[in-house]
Structure 1
Amino acid sequence: MASSTKSLSSLLGQTTLDDHDEILKAANAAIKKSKADLDAQHAKAVALLHLDRYEDALKVFEETKGLQEKAHFEYAYALYKTGNAAKAVEIAGAGPKASRGTKHMLAQAAYRSEDFAQAAKVYKDLASQPVDNEEYDIRINSGAVDAQLEWTGQGELAQKKKPTREDLEVFETAFNAACGSIARGELAQGEVCLKRAKDLCNALSDLSDAEKQAELLPITVQQVYVLTQLGKMDDAEELATSIPFADHSIKELSTRYIAQVNSIAASKEHSNPYLSHRLFHSSPKPPVTDQHFAFQSNILRQDEYVISLLSQKVAGVAASTEKVISASVAPSLSPAVNMAAVLNAAAHARNAETEKAALKEIVPLLEKRPNDVGLLLTITHLYVITNNYAAATYLLESFFKRLEQSGSASDLDVRFAPGLIATLVSLYAQQGRPGASKSELAKAAEYWRKPHKSKTEAPSKALMVAAGTALLDTHNLENVRAAGEIFKSLYDQDNEDRAAIAGLVAAYSITDPSSIPKDLLSYLPEANRLISDIDAAALEGAGVPLGTLNTTDIALEARKRSLAPTGPVPPRTKRLRKARIPKEFIEGKKMDPERWLPMRDRSYYRPKGRKGKKKLEGLTQGGVVAEEKGSPAAQEKKGGVDKGKSKKKGKGKW
């Protein structure tokens, strides 16, 4: 063993550091003499890693007992390069006190395994202990991690929320700043940063044209996406045609795949869904070591389903999405599962012409999958489109009640998910129910503030701020105390958060003003700034009372006289409801007080013509009624008189 190690050391001393083939030959020669020689096995593994033979290097680590414990860094690197980033994180973090190189390895593996929070933490630790020639790389990698945190909904963990001047000095940091802006929905800012990144890359003199093209391709692909989202379809299509698909110059297949999809979305020529379907599947799938991130895969899968629906492959989409849904436990907050549920509902709707027709096809699915979050939100959205807010609210409230009654910890996590809470609060706001909104936000904040085993992520900052603000608005002392605790926890997480500082000061000013730290008051705007545009003299002249003053009775009386009106007070105009205003109403014109009476009963009614005047005489109350010849009374009187006259008294009769 000693002799083999000595001979190996002498051989390594005779070779250069770049001659890894010679190192590999020497290591193999030593291993033939003794397979248990860890130094020789270690040298062989390192040589294979330098020769980019990562699978062979990993095989050495797996077949040699004790080598994994001896070389944590090299083993983690082999796992990382072969596509097993999650295990690489486990190995890199489980070793002895990590060296700086191991920390870099851990950060890279955490980034690739989509544990962006851990990657951000490691890079922050590395940045706190600066080393020469590393600041540039750490700044680039930290920017990439911040962008990924924004994409995955963990933006509160990002170190930078806005691009700085130093970010726009190098094309790599400018590109990362653009990605962060796009993830936050700031598309215009992202477009500016992408143009800056392109200009900086083209201006580099130490890169060849081929190297520049390789660096510019991801920027161009991202530009096509941004232009499409901004609605600049002509610019997007023109830019997409400049991407060289034919010569296969895009070496990263993951980038090539996204570029192909973006070009289809930006092209007007691909209006034929069947042609788009063929082009979508024409690009080769990336290998294991070059896979898309989860949020990218989810969007690409969604695009695939949509193109299939447009190509009338309804049954296939329904069956495929059904497999994804059934493979997950309901209810689920997984974006992939809920996206599949939405497209499954679209497949069952079968291109319904109206929202009501779609509801008729989709609502029965809820009986089979009552806890399907994606399906539930789809039906809720259709109810909102048809202005049936009551049905949408009842649907969500019933779902929440079922989850509460189940008592399952995972169900409660779904019950108080920030997105679902925001949906219900929006429905309450649409219906003018602020009390219900405040109550729902308070319940959600109370749940997320309590420790719970099932909770896998930190509570949403936006949810906690909204809940704290709602509790402050109730003006209830207990609620204000709860709001103070919420803002205190947010302040402990980030002592520069202005929303947390303002909420904390507002809550403490009511419950315990003496406990407000003086350093927090410096963040609040000065009173002079808040009243700088207010004219106190004008307010006093208009009659605004100054407050309690220690003056004599004469001064008080003088003040009363000064506040009294100097001229006649104009009568207060009575406001009419809109429903009672006539169609011909003209503002400023005095309305007829007798407008509600029939025309013949109005005092100014004067009929026209002889018949009208004669009719008016008969309408006079209390006057003599003239009987016409044809009237029933006249006929009766006439009949009575004639009857009396014709009846003669007979002779000899009484």
Structure 2
Amino acid sequence: MEAKSKALSALLHRTAIDDHEEILKACSTALKTSKGDLEILYTRVIALLKLERHDDALAAIEEGGYQLKEKTKVERAYALYKTGQLEEAKKLAKSIGDNRGARHVEAQASYRSEDFNSASAVYRALSEDKQSEENDLRINSSATDANLEWSNQGDLVEKKKHSREDLELFETAYNAACASIARGELQQGGVLLKRAHDTTDLCMSNEDLTDDEKEAEVLAIRVQQLFVLSSLGKGEEARSLASNISTERLSDASTVKVAQNNAIAARIDQSNPHLNRRLLDAKANLPATDKLFKYQEGVLQQNSLSLDLQAQKPQSVIKTTETILNKAQPSTSPYINALSVLNASAHAQGELANFGLKKILPLFEKRPVDLGLAMTIIQLYVLTNNHGSAINIMDKLINHLSKSAKPSDQDVLHAPGLIALQVSLYSSQNRRSQIRTTLARAASYWRRKSKAPTSLLQAAGTTLLDSPEPEHQAIAREIFSILHQSDPASRLATAGFIASHAQASPSSITETDLSALPPLSEQIQGIDIDALEKAGVLALPNVPSTTISSTRKRQLEDLQKPKKKRIRFSKRPKDFDPDKKMDPERWLPLQDRSSYRPSRKKGKRKEGERERTQGGVAGGDKMMEKGGEVVKGAEKVGGGGGKGKGKKKGKR
């Protein structure tokens, strides 16, 4: 065994130290006479890895047997990582134990599998032990933080502000720029990108990098600059930069893909959607070791579907999106909800407002828990100023989610963004009780979670603190107790804690809590009272409390008075006098008005009609009863024909 190793050493001495092909040939020659030699097999594996023949390295390890597998655990984990078998690589690297090389492989495999939180934890642990790869750890840690921001996990990032050390290397400056852009700080990101570009110019003379590697570094910065310019609305500058981006010489397939997408997006308003679709599909197959991240793939797919909509291919968009949506669960994922919006747009076929709603509303009956579809319908209702129907759609979505017992559905039901939308819709209708109920329900759900959204708890506690309901007051006290305990330095949490416990349990408020708030003199310092009065601020008069209460009562009565309605010009009569008070009963029929009185002539006319009734007794109302007989009064009644003969006066 020792003689074989000496023979191998003699062979290796005759080769150049960097010529791994010669080393591999020497190992193959030695293995013909010394099969199973562990040292030769191990050297062969290292040579294959150096030549980036990772599949051949894995095959060589499998052929070498159990002893070689045990000796090459780190190398095998690295080969698994380079061939895209990320989960196997992470599992094997974790099982190795306290080995710095294995920790690096674990972090890299976690990073490529988009487990950025685990990768960040590994890099932090490696950074605690200062070694020669300190710069590499800084670069990789900053890249991990940037991807946490891009993947909407920015709350896990410990370092939000860049330091002076981050600007020393173009890699760390570029990563800091990416993190700022992901947080929406576009101006800051643009400044950092310029700094990264300047430092890249300095490293272009570095002989350690090949020409392709230098060009790849510059291209990555230009692609991000193009994204920033497009996001800021600087179309002309973005198109000018896009025309200067060349990707022919680059081997970094993922960077080329992103560059093509951003260049197409920069000139999308003045080009052919069919041609853009063809350009976007170019070089679609990426190698396993250079895949795009999921959030990047989602954006590229959305752009592809948007181009299909512009090219009048709605059925293709419907088929593609429904294949994914039918398998998806209720989620707050931007990717899933963006596909829902594209699906609704394809069904609406470019129609907006009421015409689009008629085509989209039947979809909501089929997918009542589709968050993206519900948001689209609500947005269309809001655009048509129909907040009541928007609230009805929101209530239907909430009711369907409430019936589910899945923990994931409950997280969606109480998602801070969805709660904020509910509060906004209820505020448009001044539904204060529903706002309090919604916030109380969400706060009751999240306050028992380990990672509760602080902004939601603050909004809920502030709103419920003004509620007259004792139950809401109790929830507010518990919320501010949790916030004050988790962050005693927060003035908002301290002020809420004092306000919520002032009446219920004043003994729980300490002097430290009171001293943490600024005194009233500091808060009103610098306020010019005379200037406020001159600007129109009314001062409270020096009157007794009874007068103040009566004044407030009159103010409430004035508020309760109905406002004077404005009459349209087209409905005004010719003799309309705006100063004259109009009769509020002017639209009622005459007999329904309070001023109506029936005329007397009308009653007499009815009386005469009764006398002329056929079969009745004429003058019946003037007949008198006398001596048991009915005697007719002295009223003349007209006869039938000729003139009546009367008796002559005087003697016969």
Shorter-normalised TM range:
0.7 to 0.9
Q: Which residue in the other structure is 1:118 paired with?
A: 118
TM-score computed with the length of structure 2 as normaliser: 0.75
Alpha-carbon separation, structure 2, partners of 1:527 and 1:65: 78
Alpha-carbon separation, structure 1, partners of 2:120 and 2:510: 30
Aligned mate of 1:220, from 217, 222, 226: 222
Q: Which residue in the other structure is 2:312 paired with?
A: 312
Task: Please give the root-mean-square deviation of Cα atoms over the aligned residues, in Å.
Answer: 4.0
Is the CA contact 1:468–1:487 (under 8 Å) kept in the aligned structure 2? no
Shift, 1:517, TM fit: 8.5
Is the CA contact 2:84–2:288 (under 8 Å) kept in the aligned structure 1? yes
Q: For 2:430, what is the secondary structure of its paired residue?
A: coil
Q: Which residue in the other structure is 1:74 paired with?
A: 75
Which amino acid is the alignment partner of residue 246 of structure 2? Answer: P
Alpha-carbon separation, structure 2, partners of 1:498 and 1:538: 29
Q: Which residue in the other structure is 2:602 paired with?
A: none
Shift, 1:113, TM fit: 0.9
Shift, 1:304, TM fit: 0.1
Alpha-carbon separation, structure 2, partners of 1:577 and 1:435: 24
Unmatched segments (≥5 aa) in structure 1: 452-456, 546-558, 565-570, 585-591, 599-650
Which amino acid is the alignment partner of residue 313 of structure 1? Answer: K
1:358 counterpart = 2:356? yes
Q: Which residue in the other structure is 2:233 paired with?
A: 231
Alpha-carbon separation, structure 1, partners of 2:451 and 2:16: 51
Identity rate of aligned residues, in percent?
44
Aligned mate of 2:410, from 401, 409, 412: 412
Q: Which residue in the other structure is 2:42 paired with?
A: 42
Q: Which residue in the other structure is 1:159 paired with?
A: 158
Shift, 1:278, TM fit: 2.6
1:294 counterpart = 2:294? yes
| CA deviation vs aligned residue, 1:473-517 (integer Å, no higher than 9, x gap) | 5475421332035415754xxx87776676667667777677678
Is the CA contact 2:484–2:490 (under 8 Å) kept in the aligned structure 1? no
Q: Which residue in the other structure is 2:439 paired with?
A: 441
Q: Which residue in the other structure is 1:608 paired with?
A: none
Q: Which residue in the other structure is 1:84 paired with?
A: 85
Change (3 A) 1:422 1:17: farther
Q: Which residue in the other structure is 1:192 paired with?
A: 191
Q: Which residue in the other structure is 1:95 paired with?
A: 96
Aligned mate of 1:384, from 382, 395, 398: 382
Alpha-carbon separation, structure 2, partners of 1:228 and 1:384: 28
Is the CA contact 2:27–2:44 (under 8 Å) kept in the aligned structure 1? yes
Q: For 1:243, what is the secondary structure of its paired residue?
A: coil
Alpha-carbon separation, structure 1, partners of 2:143 and 2:55: 27
Change (3 A) 1:54 1:365: same
Q: For 1:396, what is the secondary structure of its paired residue?
A: helix
Larger Rg: 2
Shift, 1:19, TM fit: 4.2
Change (3 A) 1:175 1:525: farther
Change (3 A) 1:44 1:358: same
Alpha-carbon separation, structure 1, partners of 2:647 and 2:179: 132
Is the CA contact 2:277–2:307 (under 8 Å) kept in the aligned structure 1? yes
1:479 counterpart = 2:475? yes
Alpha-carbon separation, structure 2, partners of 1:537 and 1:259: 60
Alpha-carbon separation, structure 2, partners of 1:320 and 1:92: 38
Change (3 A) 1:406 1:157: closer
| CA deviation vs aligned residue, 1:286-310 (integer Å, no higher than 9, x gap) | 2221111111110110000000110
Change (3 A) 1:284 1:533: same
| CA deviation vs aligned residue, 1:100-136 (integer Å, no higher than 9, x gap) | 3322222222111111111222222223x24244333
Is the CA contact 2:48–2:54 (under 8 Å) kept in the aligned structure 1? yes
Shift, 1:235, TM fit: 0.8
Is the CA contact 1:120–1:145 (under 8 Å) kept in the aligned structure 2? yes
1:576-587 paired onto structure 2 within 5 Å: 579=564
Alpha-carbon separation, structure 1, partners of 2:425 and 2:153: 25
Is the CA contact 2:11–2:26 (under 8 Å) kept in the aligned structure 1? yes
Change (3 A) 1:33 1:360: farther
Is the CA contact 1:156–1:461 (under 8 Å) kept in the aligned structure 2? no
Is the CA contact 1:468–1:486 (under 8 Å) kept in the aligned structure 2? no
1:268-287 paired onto structure 2 within 5 Å: 270-287=270-287
| CA deviation vs aligned residue, 1:368-402 (integer Å, no higher than 9, x gap) | 22232222222222222222222222222222222
1:466 counterpart = 2:459? yes
Alpha-carbon separation, structure 2, partners of 1:372 and 1:593: 54
Shift, 1:176, TM fit: 1.5
Q: Which residue in the other structure is 1:21 paired with?
A: 21
Greater Cα shift, 162-171 or 6-15 = 6-15
1:370 counterpart = 2:368? yes
The total of aligned residue pairs comes to: 560
Which amino acid is the alignment partner of residue 117 of structure 2? Answer: A
Alpha-carbon separation, structure 1, partners of 2:16 and 2:494: 60
Which amino acid is the alignment partner of residue 525 of structure 2? Answer: S
Change (3 A) 1:344 1:517: same
Which amino acid is the alignment partner of residue 366 of structure 1? Answer: F
Greater Cα shift, 405-414 or 461-470 = 461-470
Is the CA contact 1:140–1:173 (under 8 Å) kept in the aligned structure 2? yes
Is the CA contact 1:4–1:33 (under 8 Å) kept in the aligned structure 2? no
Is the CA contact 2:368–2:400 (under 8 Å) kept in the aligned structure 1? no
Aligned mate of 2:524, from 499, 520, 531: 531
